[in-house]
Every structure is written in C-alpha cells, then in structure tokens.
Amino acid sequence: MGRLAGKIVIVTGAGSSTGIGAAIARLAALEGARLVLADIDVTGATGVAQDIDAKIGDRVTHPIALDLTDEHSIRAMVSAAQQRWGGLHAIVNNAADTSLTGRDGRIETMDVEIWDRTIAANLRGTMLACRHAIPALRASGGGGAIVNIASGAALRGGPALSAYGVSKAGIVSLGQYVAAQHGAEGIRCNTISPGIIITPKTEAVFGGADNWERLQIHMLSPRLGATDDIGAAVLWLISDEGAYVNGQCISIDGGQMSHQNPLIDAVMPR
C-alpha cells in the first residue's frame, strides 16, 4: 500500500515525458494514486499515461486535453476525475504557457499582448483550476490538497520573463488565499517554486554545458535540480504526511534563493 493508495489526483502539464508533470504523475502512480493527466498536448499526455500504466501493470491513468485559457476545458478536466475515478483528492497545477517566453522581455518594451496572454493562461488558468477543484475536493470528503507550481522567477526580479515571473508570483499569493478561505474545511493549498530543473525546456532557455556550470556556481547544493526533486516534494504535500502544511510556498532550488548570489563567487570555494 503506497502513500497515495485510494487517492484520485489530477496532474496538469503532464504531456512531456521528460517534464516535471510526468515525473509527478509517475511517482504518484507508484504510490497508489489514480490519475487524470491533463495537457494541451493530449497526444503527449496519452503517451505518458500509457508508459505509467505499463509500468504499474494496471490502468491507473486517464489522459485528457486541457486548455488553461478555456474555463469549459478546466471544468471538464475536474469532471473527468469524478466520472472516471469517482472523486478527487488532490490536484497539482503544474501546467503553464511557456510558448511566449521568447517574446517575454522587459516591462518597458514588451508587447502588452504577451503580458495578457501569459497572465490569462498561467495565473487565471491556475485560479480557475482551483475554483473548480475545490467543490470536487469537498465532495470527496476529508478535505483535500492543492499544489500549485510557481517558479523561482516569482520570488526575484530578472532581466526578462517579466510576464512569466509576475504570473507565477500571483500563483504564490493565490495559494495563500485559497488556504485562508478553505483551510477550515480541511482543504490545503501549497505552492512549490522550483529553481533550475534540468528538462528539455530549460535546456532550450539556458543551454549548453558552460551555462549549466555557471548556474551551478550559484547553487548551494552540488548539482542542479531534477524533475524527481519536485515530484518528491509534491508527493509529500498531497499525502497524509503533509496534512499540517497549508498556505506555504516552498522553494525547491538547491539553496539558490537562500543566499547573496553576487557574493558567492568571491567567498565560496569551488
């Protein structure tokens, strides 16, 4: 019996086999969860679902298309968990629109349309996922868990990715409001802010061994992050082990945000 035996869990943004959402889904399945895997790339989500089912030796997943900008799509995702598995005990809001990051620059010069589309998908979409999940969590009895995935970009400013960072900062605040409003019902809402996690998407942004080495200098841990680092934290938060954790934002970043980065080259031997 795993830590999530009998639990029904939605994981959004699970369509990339090498991404954070897929890692969360795999670990949750190994712990006994029944899963809805939602992604705008439903073909990718189906592939991840098939891989998980083959590994478990049973049908434990249900892939579904998800458009974060479409409330009907979000409502259908929650309904799919109830209809396919009989309820909902946890939702992990990992999906985000990263297709615009190449045009997401400085506040002064960025296209306002990029801002609006990013906020609509990332922040509004996560809010709507919480909005529609809350009644389903309540109906399943015993409360439930929401984990929203933000970013280190939510906690510090930077030279670009203005809309993305602000959308993720809003997700941090959203988690606190959901926890404040529904904690008395046993519904927990926490946020994880990943640091530099090595995936094909981050490699496309940062790219190359030299850049990885430069980033590593600013971590306190001796390596950069892996998708399972985020998955392990999510499992703790949605399991009974995390029952007394609510309204928190947890940085899973190898210590990146815990020290004065400009000084590290001078004082930290490598």
Distance (Å) of CA 216 to CA 19, 154, 261 = 20, 20, 11
Find the helix packing angle between 20-30 and 227-238, rounded to 10°. 50
Catalytic residue status for 177: no
**Catalytic member of 64, 137, 147, 164:** 164
Distances (CA, A) of 34 to 45, 51, 61, 62, 223: 15, 14, 6, 8, 32
Tokens at 66, concatenated: 């998800």
Rg of the chain in Å (alpha carbons): 18
Q: Which residues pair with 8 in a beta bridge?
A: 34
Please count the CA atoms within 13 angstroms of the CA of 72 that sit on its side-chain side. 0
Residue whose C-alpha is closest to residue 151's, from 212, 106, 201: 201
Catalytic residue numbers read 164
